[in-house]
Structure 1
């Protein structure tokens, strides 16, 4: 049994009738030539065999009565894998649009909190003969880096993996009683004054740097069509660009992959906002999640995150200008991030009881607070993907497309996954706010062509031609 951190539990508090804070991905796979396609039975057996490597998959929540302390993960004594693994068939003609619609329908459904918080669906019916595996896990259990590692643990390096036995020491937990949970919440309450004192000192120390930072120079993000309260439905679009082309722009311009991603987003959103007669005069504000993990190569659970806020230069006219501005904005954001203790967000979350966090979230929703006060326009995340060719159940992994989460006041999320040959893009939106999310994907692909033509064979200028600093490790 393990207690959730305050940051983990924050994502539970954000859940509502219209917000579901789980992370997901779609693995498009090529069945082996001349061999059988992946079946539901084989996928279920595969997941079952990998359970020792997938800690969140057998844990469910045990919530403290009255929300007086953070809940616990318990090894579920009633775990039933068949509840979590299912299948569906796409309607004809079985193309990318049908896949996107089917996945959006799966992603908008909340997870059952009485069971471990994950689901996997095998998807058939592709006109191309391919298949897909859609997986979602609640954000309370994983962040983007942990989710990426969880996926890699599920995959194999060869079509026929070694049959080395995996030791499974798993034992279900005894259900903790209400009195036990309440008793342990007393100890947590006793530690609160010390946490609050440390948090106060950290925040006071940060104020001078924050006042001069970009987030405080502009307290509110400009209004856009996707900064409203959410409805219950979701729309998802996906695509990809060659990672080699992104790397060429990065190297010629002397920037980072993160800078290129932000520039692609800025150019695409500028076009979309202009087409919808909603382009603000100034830049958008993008939240960029940052991993604070030190063991990111093995972690498959929990959240270790911070974030930086960077201006997204949608107000600039040319691709080269947008790339230069994105590079400068991320440079300033890095300085601010490195000056900030990495555990401030965690401390804030630890000092808030779940009962209070849930009430604050519901009150903010009722008064439409995040529609009136906009700290951000959207999140842009860059998540590491499988670094080499991999397989699942003998089928070759063709691509991994991400799905993140959206929230009230932020009805659009752009996430990219970098792998050994592709930079894949997944954009999730509220269809009432962004009915044509596919247009943003198309615009990002076009923007890379424009950016490559502008800077693909030359640097941006003397100030930017120097070797770029290492990128921040970012995560959903």
Structure 2
């Protein structure tokens, strides 16, 4: 009888015609893939992947968060589709097709996922675009869903020997109403507990951290709680950029693969982490784009960086994700100085996160009455997006397997993440996934803000080259 957490429900409620909560991936495969073969593999494995076999069961009058109910009659002809690219079937046409698919909302009357086989790609390749709603999975859960399609050899593995567990049915409508009323009565207590726990972390919460006195109050509360040595976070007013503010309903997508070995060489040369290099590459690319489109701001951009709470030992169902904000030193001209500023910023937020994982997003969601959450989420997104967006760009780096994978015998060549942009997080999302010696990067932009996402993707390559040239000039 699984029920959506308050944070899961937030991803449903903030959706509008322009804010779309789809997370996806574009796999490029060697050879062609047969739709019926893929459906057959899915049919065998779906019982073991809860996120793909559940649909929403709504509580009357919206008094509580929806439940997940198991769909026993899953229509794979609906969920697994195929389309063809027009000639010449190049990467630009593939990305254009993915842009259109990614901007479409999922049908909430069905399990919240779709897969598209994309034929006609040049070079004897094909595309496999997999889309799932953020309410159903976070980044880690999405990787688990992807793993349901993948094998470590060309021969598909058999399903597990043990029987798949079945969900208990959700409560009936009368019980849903009783539970919803009980939650509504308990919300004031949730709100009080959230306020008490949130005070030491006010400087982590976008928008709130910019209120007068919030950082002083946060620091005092941490010292009273015995956490006086936890690293403070710098004030992060997000500068105005061409990709700040409310997004449209249209997306642009582009992708690029960078050699992981080159990333590691830069890491070793300058004594930083792989993630530091990825963040610095993004900073360099954004600096170059801004220089060509209106000018580079005089202060850092603010990057929204997701962290998995699971990695911090936080258990529980549904989304387990926190968003931390970090300065992104696009205002620094020298690439090495930029890299070291990124390193300092990332180390600071990681140290702070390690001491007390940022749970404010989840706890804030729990403190809000379910009946008001939808209106509040959409209103808050609209207001913050139009007045003071706290984030300029979302950047994520997801480590993946460093060995070949296969889908129905077809080798996976690359896998590009296709993520979310919103009014609050800005009109650019750059997400990287490392796979089999490559760093595969997906760039999602708002069409009205950055019409040519390929320009930004190409600048990522140039930014890495800039760091490689700086590495080459170091004394041996």
Whether TM exceeds 0.5 here: the answer is yes
Which of 228, 239, 245 aligns to 2:262? It is 245
Alignment of 1:182-331 (within 5 A): 182-207=177-202, 211=215, 217-218=235-236, 220-294=237-311, 302-331=318-347
Contact persistence 2:241–2:392 (CA under 8 A) = yes
Structure 1 unmatched ranges of 5 or more: 32-36, 461-476
Structure 1 stretch 341-350 or stretch 280-289: which is displaced more?
A: 341-350
Between 1:407-416 and 1:368-377, the stretch displaced more is 368-377
Change (3 A) 1:381 1:294: closer
TM-score, normalised by the number of residues in structure 1: 0.89
Q: Which moved more, 1:376-385 or 1:397-406?
A: 376-385
Other-structure match for 1:416: 432
- After superposing the two structures, state which structure 1 stretch, 279-288 or 331-340, moved more: 331-340
How many residues are treated as equivalent by the alignment? 451
Please give the alpha-carbon distance, in whole angstroms, between the structure 2 residues aligned to 1:459 and 1:343.
Answer: 44
Cα deviation, residue 138, structure 1: 0.4
**Using the alignment, how far apart are the partners of 2:100 and 2:466 within structure 1?**
34
* Structure 2: distance between partners of 1:341 and 1:169: 33
**Any residues of structure 2 matched to 1:262-411 within 5 Å, and which?**
262-294=279-311, 302-364=318-380, 368-409=383-424, 410-411=426-427
1: distance between equivalents of 2:346 and 2:170?
47
- Contact 2:302 / 2:393 at 8 angstroms: preserved in 1? yes
Using the size of structure 2 for normalisation, the TM-score is 0.89
Moved more, 305-314 or 200-209: 200-209
**2:115 corresponds to:** 120
Q: 1:301 to 1:118 in 2, by over 3 A?
A: farther
Give the SS at the match of 1:2. Answer: coil
Structure 2 CA distance, aligned partners of 1:452 and 1:104? Answer: 31
Deviation at 1:338? 2.8
Task: Tell me the CA shift for residue 273 of structure 1.
Answer: 0.6
Q: Contact (CA 8 Å) 2:29, 2:126: kept in 1 or not?
A: yes
1:332–1:42: structure 2 CA closer, same or farther, 3 Å change rule?
same
RMSD (Å) for aligned C-alpha atoms: 2.4
1:397 shift after superposition: 0.6
**CA–CA distance in structure 1, aligned partners of residues 116 and 397 of structure 2:** 24
SS of the residue corresponding to residue 3 of structure 1 reads coil
Cross-structure match for 2:100: 105
Determine helix, strand or coil for the equivalent of 2:436.
Answer: coil
Q: For residue 2 of structure 2, what is the aligned residue in structure 1?
A: 2
Tell me which residue corresponds to 2:224. Answer: none
Counterpart in the other structure of 1:80: 75
User: Matches of 2:171 and 2:475 in 1, distance apart?
Assistant: 61
Q: Conserved in 1, the CA contact under 8 Å of 2:68 and 2:170?
A: no
| 1:239-267 alpha-carbon deviations (Å, 9 max, x no partner) | 11000110111111111111111111111
Q: Counterpart of 1:145?
A: 140
8 Å contact kept, 1:147–1:300: no
Change (3 A) 1:306 1:171: closer
Return 39-48 or 133-142, whichever deviates more: 39-48
Gaps of 5+ in 2: 210-214, 220-230
Does residue 54 of structure 2 align to residue 38 of structure 1? no
Per-residue CA distance 1:369-402 (angstroms, 9 max, x = gap): 3132121101101112233211000000101000
Farther-moved stretch of structure 1 (124-133 vs 198-207):
198-207
For residues 217-239 of structure 1, the C-alpha deviation after alignment (integer angstroms, 9 at most, x for no partner) is: 23x30011111212111100001
1:15 aligns with 2:26: no
In structure 2, how many angstroms separate the alpha carbons of the residues matched to 1:345 and 1:363?
17
4+ residue segments displaced more than 4 Å: 164-168, 170-176, 207-210, 212-216, 456-460
